[in-house]
Amino acid sequence: MYFAGLDAHLKYVSIAVLDRRGQVALETSVSTREPEQLLAALAPYRPLEVVVETCPFWPWLYDLLVPAGIGFHLAHAKQLRAIAAAPQKSDAVDARLLARMLLAGLIPEAYPRPADQRELLRLLRHRTTLVRYRTRLAGRIHSQLHQQRLSLPREKLLRQATRAWLEETAWPRLTVEQQAIVTTHLELIDGLTPLVQALERRIATAAAGHATAPLLATIPGIGPYRSLLLAAELSPITRFPRAEHLVSYAGLAPVTRSSGGHTHHGSIPQGANRWVRGALVSAIPTHVRWAPTSPVTMAYAQLKARLGWRVARVAAARKLARVVYVMLTRRTPWCGAPVAGDVRDEVQNSHVAATTSFC
């Protein structure tokens, strides 16, 4: 049995291979322009387990090594304190230390997503990036309006009906440079909007044909984009032994520090899957509006009265994450939602539709 650490960079990959006794069997580096050299260098060492840090270069290594029968491990870079705090740091040292940590079973592992899952997430994040650009442009227009004491609800700025208000009311009060800024930003928004709409159509088609997204879309407040995002980010759900693990993965559980008999619960952590957390938190307002009697809505209303809407929204998202976990593990839709197709068959076969605790 051999264990290899790969320190990947844009132009080359540093390799360190250890045997099961911890002896160095190979130390070298290969160019990324010729991936077959990497396979040739690792060919004499079988069976082989390989570890790579999370970085922009791990996907092509995964696609190259896994079909060759090599075990692949993805190490969480932020949790590799032994490498970050090492007094001597080089590519060869990092590769050797990765291999030793893999041999000792000390690698903080992350989930390496397969190629089809990564491609789906690229589609979703591309849409998110364009929407953020458009929102940033709209924010700059609002800034120019506010400087002239002009107020406009944020949800109305991107509507075509608002253009007449801009021309008749706002335009005479803006300076020449402000008019140029507003004109430029509106042109950019008009160029981005068709691109976003095209992506949303592709996402709706992909969500309809996905194995899990239609199940999550039965939750009020979860549409095609959020359902497909949650399905792609949380697949496979067997990675999470319990609902609490999913809540922690999404960064919705508060930080707990306990020492000397004292326990302190702080805010939610920054390091988490921000895509899952963002989808769940942003779904709460719509869920509250369309499902006023659900347990999630009632928990939100109770906490909002005591702690404010910000804390209540995160707490409700935490409860919704547990609902998502139950739905994915039991393959059951949201209670009260119309069941259709394969979802209905799975519910009837599993006999758990009557046991769901979130309806």
pLDDT in tens, 230-266: 999 999 999 999 999 999 999 998 877 777 777 777 7
Quick one: average pLDDT of 193-204? 96
* Best CA proximity match to 333, nearest among 307, 359, 313, 315: 359
CATH of the domain at 7: 3.30.420.10
What residues make up the domain containing 236? Answer: 213-355
* pLDDT at site 262: 76
Contacts (Cβ under 8 Å, ≥6 apart) of 72: 50, 52, 61, 62, 65, 66, 112
* pLDDT at site 82: 66
Q: Are residues 33 and 70 in the same domain?
A: yes
Q: How far apart are the C-alpha atoms of 263 and 255, rounded to whole Å?
A: 10
Q: Is the pLDDT of residue 339 over 70?
A: no
* Best CA proximity match to 66, nearest among 111, 19, 114, 32: 114
In this structure, of 79-93, 175-189, 196-210, 329-343, the range with the lowest mean pLDDT score is 329-343
Quick one: average pLDDT of 155-166? 87
* pLDDT at site 88: 73
* Best CA proximity match to 114, nearest among 75, 62, 69: 62
Q: Are residues 242 and 347 in the same domain?
A: yes
Q: How far apart are the C-alpha atoms of 342 and 208, rounded to whole Å?
A: 12
The total number of structural domains in the chain stands at 3
State how beta strands 48-53 and 71-75 pair.
parallel
Confidence category of residue 111, pLDDT binned at 50, 70, 90:
very high
Q: Is the pLDDT of residue 356 over 60?
A: no
In this structure, of 165-174, 246-255, 329-338, the range with the lowest mean pLDDT score is 329-338
Quick one: average pLDDT of 21-30? 95
Q: Are residues 152 and 81 in the same domain?
A: no
Q: Is the pLDDT of residue 336 over 60?
A: no
In this structure, of 57-61, 158-162, 313-317, the range with the lowest mean pLDDT score is 158-162
Quick one: average pLDDT of 269-285? 91
Name the burial class of residue 229, with classes exposed (0-12), middle (13-18) and buried (19+) by CB atoms within 10 angstroms of its CB: buried
Of 55, 86, 110, the position where a domain reaches its end is 110
Q: Is the pLDDT of residue 343 over 80?
A: no
Of 110, 144, 174, the position where a domain reaches its end is 110
Q: Are residues 168 and 195 in the same domain?
A: yes
Amino acid at 315: A
* pLDDT at site 346: 38
Q: How far apart are the C-alpha atoms of 278 and 257, rounded to whole Å?
A: 25
Q: Are residues 82 and 144 in the same domain?
A: no
CB 81 within 8 Å of CB 59 = no
Q: Are residues 235 and 202 in the same domain?
A: no
3-state helix/strand/coil string of the chain: CEEEEEEECCCEEEEEEEECCCCEEEEEEEECCCHHHHHHHHCCCCCEEEEEECCCCHHHHHHHHHHHCCEEEEECHHHCHHHHCCCCCCHHHHHHHHHHHHHHCCCCEECCCCHHHHHHHHHHHHHHHHHHHHHHHHHHHHHHHHHCCCCCCHHHCCCCHHHHHHHHHHHHHCCHHHHHHHHHHHHHHHHHHHHHHHHHHHHHHHHHCCCCHHHHCCCCCCCHHHHHHHHHHHCCHHHCCCHHHHHHHCCCCCCEEEECCEEEECCCCCCCCHHHHHHHHHHHHHHHHHCCCCHHHHHHHHHHHHHCHHHHHHHHHHHHHHHHHHHHHHCCCCCCCCCCHHHHHHHHHHCCHHHCCCC
CB 287 within 8 Å of CB 220 = yes
Quick one: average pLDDT of 40-68? 95
Q: Are residues 326 and 217 in the same domain?
A: yes
Q: Is the pLDDT of residue 355 over 70?
A: no
* pLDDT at site 85: 66
Quick one: average pLDDT of 166-176? 93
Of 110, 126, 154, the position where a domain reaches its end is 110
Backbone angles phi, psi at 99, to 5 degrees: -65, -40
* pLDDT at site 335: 81
**Number of Cβ atoms within 10 Å of the Cβ of 313:** 20
Q: Are residues 18 and 77 in the same domain?
A: yes
Token pair recorded at residue 83: 């490498």
pTM to 2 decimal places:
0.85
